Amino acid sequence: MRLLPLFVLTSMVAISTPGQPSGKTSVIWIYDCSQSHYSSLAPPSLEQFGVRSRPIEPLVQAVADNAGPGTEIRVLSFGTGLRLSPGWLRTRSELAVAMDCGDTLNGPSPIWDAVYRGVEVLEERPGPRAILMVTDGKSSANVHGFQEALERSKQGGVRINIGLARTELWRTSRPPMTLNANRAGDPAERLKKLAEGTGGRYTEMSAWDLPAFFAEVVRGWQK
């Protein structure tokens, strides 16, 4: 009998341009509203057992609390299509509203289209630029493939740092398992290639450590 997965893959990607002049940092936060991502998240009732159920709220808080006045964010959610928030957001409440999946919820996972589009939007912005991403890495229904997204990121002069979190559904003393690495492949493989291919950093961590990692990344933009 097959049980629920022990780990859920959640990734965080930070894309930043190296050696840029100081100024306002423009950030595209790509958020995975696909059915595969949402259906694999644990219900909130399991938090009492040490399970991170809905990772986005603490991440929004971490980003909002640590982003200085010089940071502007647009949210690009994907699922049933891509949806870019209409303007640059400056407050936590604006950010929280924009993270609502709305009519993109429960669709497919055009991750690489989102990266491609995110780079396009950022290229129009002066100053430092970054991309944050929360996804399970299981891409589908893309016009642009992984390689195109990678090349587009390189062309846009971005470095991609990835903090990959495997959320324990049940707390265990065992080291993280590669649960999603089934016979058809591990979605983490391409995320790792994305980081390495653009000269960025790739690390794996618990989902509970993601907010601190997000906070560290966002604080790094202030320097």
Contact set with another protein (CB under 8 A): 2, 5, 34-36, 39-40, 106-109, 112, 138-143, 145-147, 182-184, 187, 190
Which CB sits closer to another protein, 177 or 212?
A: 177
Measure CA 76 to chain center: 10
Which CB sits closer to another protein, 40 or 161?
A: 40
Query: Smallest distance from the beta carbon of 37 to another protein, in angstroms?
Result: 9
Query: Smallest distance from the beta carbon of 143 to another protein, in angstroms?
Result: 6
Which CB sits closer to another protein, 42 or 67?
A: 42
Which CB sits closer to another protein, 33 or 215?
A: 33
Which CB sits closer to another protein, 27 or 149?
A: 149
Amino acid at 38: Y
Query: Smallest distance from the beta carbon of 155 to another protein, in angstroms?
Result: 19
C-alpha–C-alpha distance, residues 7 and 141, integer Å: 24
Which CB sits closer to another protein, 97 or 181?
A: 181
Three-state secondary structure readout of the chain: CCCCCCEEEEEEEEEECCCCCCCCEEEEEEEECEHHHHHCCCCHHHHHHCCCCCCHHHHHHHHHHHCCCCEEEEEEEEECEEEECCCCECCHHHHHHHCCCHHHCCECCCHHHHHHHHHHHHHCCCCCEEEEEEECCCCCCCCCCHHHHHHHHHHCCCEEEEEEEEEECCCCCCCCCCCCCECCECCHHHHHHHHHHCCCCEEEEEHHHHHHHHHHHHHHHHC
Phi and psi at residue 77, to the nearest 5° = -95, 150
